[in-house]
Every structure is written in structure tokens, then in C-alpha cells.
Amino acid sequence: MDSTLTDPHPLPTVPDASATGLPPAEQQRIAFGRHLRQLRQDRGLTLTECSRLTGLAISTLSKAERGLMALTYDRLSQIASGLQIDLNALFRPEGETFLTGSVAVARCGDFQLQETPTYSYEILFPDIWGKAMTPMTGLVRARSRMEFKEFIRHDGQEFVFVLSGQLTLHCEGRDPITLAAGESAYFDSGMGHVYTTAGDDDARILVVCFGQNLPEIGKADVSRVRG
């Protein structure tokens, strides 16, 4: 075997999730990590090469693959862009292309869950690839801007609507904006931003991100990371 493809961080062996007794969030991280590692290995990429393609640190990718870290939306977008795949391909191996004249319906509970310490993402229509938008519902758990190591930023534009509770939108270089239930904001998501809940309860929100998904799914250009 080519030593350049040897992975120094093998994933832990974990039995079927239903038999582990692990919390759902931990089961989700482990399943995501396994799938992410498989995506990378299927492309013949080392962690170093994947890091160069995505712009994420090797340590971040390694922790995600081992189920030790849940990735925020901006990091998911970086991986999808670097590997030239649809964002939803990070969660499942196959999807359907959204075609002209199509109508898709998401019933209650139909979403892909992505749990982080600060947010609970409920990604809608995860089985439809090539969408112009990424719609999500979810919960905001963070109470303070200081719970984030850095601002989140990703290409495109973002719409947020507060379904319940109170939300504070923090944008880099701007005063915080507090939104009540029924209020919304639309902003450039390339600007550093984070959400925090402004009340005693978690804020429940609807978010739509524009400009991340790739209408044509291709192969990562590994020539720019290999000599």
C-alpha cells in the first residue's frame, strides 16, 4: 500500500448505534465521521491533501472523522466546496437532482440533524441535491458571543426567521440585532456572524442559505495539492 495514503488516525470501532447506549448527538457525530472519512478515502486523499483542498486544519478534519467534533455549517460548506460535492453528500451517499417542474415536500420530522454545542441544525430536503438554497430549521443554544471561538462565515446570502423565543444576530463590526418571534433578517453570510438566544429558552429559527450548493457535482482537483 502507498504509504502516502495511510491514515494516522483510524476511526474507533463502534457497534451498531442502537446497541451502544450512546447519546443521539454522539451517535450522529460518529456516523458522520465514518462517512466523511469514506468520502476522503474514496478520492484517494490523505488528511493533508484534504486539508489543502478544503482550507480546514488537519486536526479539525481528524477530529470530525473520529466523531470527536461536530462541524458548523461554514465548515461543512468548505468541505463540500473543496471536494466538489453537494453539501448533502456529506451525510448520505446518494441523492436526487432537483429538476425543473419538480415539487418536494418535507413532512414533520423529515430532516438531517447536525448537532453542535451552540446550534442544532435540522437540514431540510437532504435527499435532494443541486438545490439553489439550503433551508434549515433548528435551535440556538448559545447564550453568549463568547461561546464561539470565531465568527462563522460562508459564501452567499442568508435569511433567518425567528419561529419562537428571542434571537440575537451578531455581525462582525456591527452592533448586535435582537429579533423577536415573527421577525427576520437577511444578510451577506460572507460577513462574520453568529446567533445567540436572547431569552431564557432556546430560540427556534428557520434559516435559508443561498449560494453554497453546486449545480454540477464534479471531482476534487487533487492536482493542485499534489506535486
Confidence check: pLDDT of 100 > 80:
yes
Q: How far is CA 8 from CA 4, 70, 87, 112, in A?
A: 10, 20, 26, 29
pLDDT attached to residue 197: 97
- Strand, coil or helix: what is 188? strand
Q: How many CA atoms lie within 13 A of 41 on its CB side?
A: 16
How far apart are alpha carbons 131 and 221 in whole angstroms? Answer: 22
Residue 178 and residue 168 in contact, taking contact as beta carbons nearer than 8 Å: yes
Q: How confident is the model at residue 12 (pLDDT cuts 50, 70, 90)?
A: very low
Non-local (6+) Cβ contacts of 56 within 8 A are: 50, 75, 78, 79, 82
Q: What is the dihedral of CA 145, 147, 149, 152, to 10 degrees?
A: -60
Question: Does residue 181 carry a pLDDT above 90?
Answer: yes
CB 184 within 8 A of CB 213: no
- In this predicted structure, the answer to whether residue 220 has a pLDDT above a threshold of 60 is no
Please name the amino acid found at residue 212.
Q
Q: What is the pLDDT of residues 140-175, one digit of tens each?
A: 999 999 999 999 999 999 999 999 999 999 999 999
What pLDDT sits at residue 148? 94
pLDDT > 80? residue 135 = yes
Q: Are strands 157-164 and 112-115 parallel, antiparallel or unpaired?
A: unpaired
